Amino acid sequence: MTTAAADLLPATRNALALLLLAMADDEFVIGFSDSEWTGIAPMLEEDVAMSSMAQDELGHAQALYCLLADVVEDGRDADAIAFDRPPEAYFHARLLDHPRGDWAQTITRRFLYDTADSARLEALAESSFEPLREIVAKIRREERYHVMHVTSWFERLARGSDSRPRLLDALDRLGSDAGTVLAPLPSALALEMAGIVPTRFGGLEAAWRTSLQPTFQRLNLPPLPVTPAVDRARADHSDSFRWLHGEFTSVRGLDRSATW
């Protein structure tokens, strides 16, 4: 068990930094993207719920960026890492490059992301790197509510006569990118050898797909297609992400010292 980043070998430290960047950027991008529903969600309760989940994700991103800043130790703090990069330097999964779209697309994206993320978090609860394990333990207690909530919405939309075609459209657009969240990172082997991720980490995507099968069968939904170009799962970001990046960096662009 390792308690300080300084005790890690340089190669392990770089591998860990890439994992933390992927997780933090995922949470940051879905958090910002879903916060666009604040004030305009289809129902008042959902406005509150979606805003709460978005706020949770930004909190998780902040904790992960803080840990990343400790691991990288290049003088940048969490805010600098979060806000001061050009769009192409972000490392989130391609699934999150899609715009929020309509409510069915937002729910479908969140369902695919939250279920994959919870598989990732469950595996990282066994990490040999103590600071990551501690943050993951905290995040999992909050994410439990997200999975419960979004799963009930996913089922509701799949059963509604007006909403089902929209859900099927969303699955059609997002399905082939669903596997990008758990696609192996370039640093996967180094992470596994150091015990930062358990050995089953490489098989998480397959395990996650299997875990979704009962839900998809029950709702009579087409199975998720295989994800192409997994080696570029976190690259080639979309115009829609570049637009979002312009939005979430706008305040920082006006005043670098702005705080709450």
**Interface contacts to other proteins, rule CB under 8 A:** 45, 48-49, 52-53, 55-60, 62-63, 131, 134-135, 137-139, 141-142, 145, 148-149, 260
Give me the residues paired with residue 194 across strands: none
Residues near 107 by beta carbon (within 8 Å), at least 6 away in sequence: 150, 153, 154, 157, 167, 170
Q: What angle do CA 176, 64, 56 make, to 5 degrees?
A: 75
Q: How far is the CB of 149 from other proteins (least distance, A)?
A: 6
Nearer to other proteins, 15 or 53 (CB): 53
Distance CA 42, CA 70 (A): 41
User: Could you tell me how far CA 29 lies from the centroid of its own chain?
Assistant: 7
Q: How far is the CB of 52 from other proteins (least distance, A)?
A: 4
Nearer to other proteins, 55 or 238 (CB): 55
- With beta carbons less than 8 A apart as the criterion, state whether 33 and 50 touch: no
- The radius of gyration of the chain from alpha carbons, rounded to an integer in Å, stands at 18
Nearer to other proteins, 2 or 180 (CB): 2
Give me the residues paired with residue 23 across strands: none
Q: How far is the CB of 28 from other proteins (least distance, A)?
A: 12
Q: How far is the CB of 101 from other proteins (least distance, A)?
A: 21
Q: How far is the CB of 141 from other proteins (least distance, A)?
A: 4
Nearer to other proteins, 47 or 192 (CB): 47
Nearer to other proteins, 45 or 162 (CB): 45
Question: Helix (H, G, I), strand (E, B), or coil: what is residue 129?
Answer: strand
